Structure 1
Amino acid sequence: MRILVTGAAGIVGSETARLLARDPRFDVVRTVRRRPEPDGGPPTVGWVMGAEDPPARLRGPWDVIVHTAASTRWTMDRAEATRANIDTLRAALALATGRTRFVHVSTAYADGPGPTDAPGRPEYDGFRNGYEWSKAAGERIVTDSTVGDCVIVRPPLILGRRSTGMISAFTGPYTLFQALVSGLAPAVVGAGDGYVEVAPVDEVAAALETCCLRPGGGRTEVIAAGRDCLTMGAFLSAFLDEINEWRRQRGREPVPFPPIVAPDRWKRLHLPLVREHLSPMQMRATDLLEQFEAYTAMRRPFEPTFPVADPAQVVRASTRWWADQVPRRAGHPTEGWLMAP
């Protein structure tokens, strides 16, 4: 079975290509944006998707295309999100035939905010950011395409491997880890009893492998904890328990549990009082808090088709791995802000 994995330098793509390459049934080829470097893995082809014609080696035919190439940056405007996530998707679809199974990695947030979640923005057609908007548009493109067999896979926030916490890059939730440890985040904007969905990257890859083998039929798969989902308070407790044990072993002071401030209260009371007094670094931290609002105030967990068990264990393993890889950041003295409760 010939399988093409796009975006194989990314968190999900690298993990998925590694897993698929271990199976002798699969002949795997990877694409990356930059000039590929030998790493002992499957063949790798450099391709700037959406901006260049595909190299001859990528023109197939392919039994399966696993499309993971994307930008997950929440601050993209529509033009940036179109180039990063829609143009690249169209380029991948152009490599498929009527006999290709197309496995498209979307996001669990592609339905947009619910009526009690953080509100959407009109410039993104009701979605909360350019990332969610582009992923929702991508799903429509896939389902409307002429690909013979497609499946859409929706992961939530992605952390490291379940057993070790290992992950190829620290993005998304890891920026919140750093902000909490440093004290740059004066609070978490969200709801203490709201839900935070996370999944380990190795289980995301395993779900994609399953989808490679199972007829798609246009279905949508959701990777999530569902009824076992962590609340925001439980997520923070799992992180702080682990990071503070790591810090205790090294003689560092513990990171305090941050205030959890409701989004409307943060925007109406706290932010207007302090904005004009913020340093550039503190301003970036407040922008970060606003970006996380959509993912720390969910009123309902997702309904999974690939359930994630014990997400607190995933948070703990990921925290330990992060701290071991960036010990100076993880051990940084926490310099908190003074805030009214």
Structure 2
Amino acid sequence: MTAPARILVTGATGAVGSAVLRALDAAGHRAYGVSRRGGPGARQFAWRIGRQEPPRELRGPWTAAVHCAADTRWGLPVERAEEANVAPLRALLSLIGPETHLVHLSSSYVTGLEGSVASDAPDAYRNSYEWSKAAAERLLHTERDSVDIVRFPIVMGARADGRLDRYSGFFWLPASLCSGAVPALVAHEKGLMDMVSTDDVAEHVARLVADGPPAGRRLSVLGRGDRAQRVDEVFDTVLDALNSWRSEHGVPPLDPLPYVTPDQWNRFYLPFAEEYLDRTQLLRVTAFRAYQGYLSVTEPFEVTERVADTTRVLYQSIRGWADAHGTSARRIPRPWSA
């Protein structure tokens, strides 16, 4: 395929979008980025997509568009989740037209609790983020005859050094371990935590763009599948990375936390917590409850693109988080008490 004259990347300052933008530039494409506040460089623009008209520079034909923009907060009301993750897609579809090769970035968790994006019922999903990403995929099936949909699980940093332009989502974990925000790991120790590097996503997107638009709706699922790391392996790697960093910076090591199954936690420990913990501790415990579903996945994703092992990527990414958040990484956990 001849290099596209213009490629638009939404969410271009996010962890994934920034990696996609760099990969497209490296492949020789002329990529333009948009985000809420804009970014560095002459080809990055501010656009609150779905809420504002696009800047003049973004009008005109686009050969390809990669939709990375997303609000990954899980606790939004459904109406706000729709505004955050469905309305922007509608606005993008209006801008690019049907002739543009669209690559839409979704989530491996988009199939929710029923294994499908078909349901419009919020209770078919773990949270409003999953619901909104499923709604976006349904919109594409309605509006587009040709589209690439790319699903991927938890995102770590670059394979070379674990660096991310923005640490969010999963990185509640090292922050919580360092601060003592949770008293136990509510998880299935042998559950699966699938991960990819930003490189994996960006390189796959660049290949799709180079191949040109598909004849119909094409789904890619990136990940390790049945070779994903187990939950206990993930937590061991995170703890090893944090303690390695803390040792180098003269900070005492963190102790491993005990595992509690979600059933044990919700039946026995949570009622105790609600009765005896102080308000701050209880808020932390309540917030942590949202992660239980992701720490209890026992069935692997059926991947179409199996990525290389991510154990080293996870280790490097946690150290990268610590370098970028030194104050948090140096914290000494406060003991829990009733």
State the TM-score, normalized to the length of structure 1. Answer: 0.91
Deviations along 1:77-113, one digit per CA (max 9) or x if unpaired, are 1011011001011111112323211100110001112
Task: Tell me how many residue pairs correspond in the alignment.
Answer: 329
Secondary structure in 2 aligned to 1:95? Answer: helix
Q: 1:33 aligns with which of 36, 41, 46?
A: 36
Match of 2:297 in 1: 298
Give 1:283 shift: 2.9
For 1:191-340, list aligned pairs within 5 A: 191-214=188-211, 215-216=213-214, 217-337=216-336
Q: Is the 8 A contact 2:273 2:282 kept in 1?
A: no
Q: Deviation string for 1:147-170 (max 9, x for gaps)?
A: 352011111111111121100122
Identity %: 35
User: Matched residues in 1 for 2:165 and 2:8: separation?
Assistant: 20
1:3 paired with 2:1, answer no
User: How far 1:23 sits from its partner (Å)?
Assistant: 2.5
Matches within 5 A, 1:141-220: 141-145=139-143, 147-214=144-211, 215-216=213-214, 217-220=216-219
Shift of 1:279: 3.7
Query: CA 1:160–1:281 in 2, change beyond 3 Å: closer, same or farther?
Result: farther
Code of the residue aligned with 2:113 in structure 1: it is P
Q: Is the 8 A contact 1:165 1:321 kept in 2?
A: yes
Judge conservation of contact 1:158–1:200 (CA < 8 Å) in 2: yes
CA distance in 2, matches of 1:122, 1:83: 15
DSSP-derived class of the 1:94 partner: helix
How far has the Cα of 1:122 moved from its partner?
Answer: 10
CA–CA separation in structure 1 for the residues paired with 2:120 and 2:282: 24
Name the residue aligned to 1:118: none
The aligned amino acid for 1:103 is V
Aligned CA RMSD, in angstroms, stands at 2.0
Give 3-state SS (helix, strand or coil) of 1:18's partner: helix
1:57 shift after superposition: 2.3
Specify the alignment match of 1:72 in structure 2: 72
Counterpart contact for 2:190–2:230, Cα < 8 Å: yes
Distance in 1 between residues matched to 2:126 and 2:269, nearest whole Å: 21
Runs of 4+ in 1 over 6 A off after TM superposition: none
Could you tell me which amino acid in structure 2 is paired with residue 179 of structure 1?
S
Residue by residue over 1:114-146, the C-alpha shift from the partner in whole angstroms, topping out at 9 and shown as x without a partner, is: 58xxxxx9961410100000001110111211x
Uncovered stretches (5+) of structure 2, i.e. residues with no partner: none
Q: Is the CA contact 1:196–1:296 (under 8 Å) kept in the aligned structure 2? A: yes
- Aligned mates of 1:189, 1:89 — CA distance in 2: 35
Q: Is the 8 A contact 1:97 1:148 kept in 2?
A: no
Q: CA deviation at 1:18?
A: 1.8
SS of corresponding position for 1:220:
strand
Relative to structure 1, is the Cα distance of residues 59 and 82 closer, same or farther in structure 2, using a 3 angstrom cutoff? same
Letter in 2 for 1:45: F
**2:201 touches 2:222 (CA, 8 Å); kept in 1?**
yes
Q: What CA distance in whole angstroms lies between the structure 2 residues aligned with 1:267 and 1:226?
A: 29
Question: What is the aligned partner in structure 2 of residue 127 from structure 1?
Answer: 125
Deviation at 1:220, TM superposition (A): 1.0
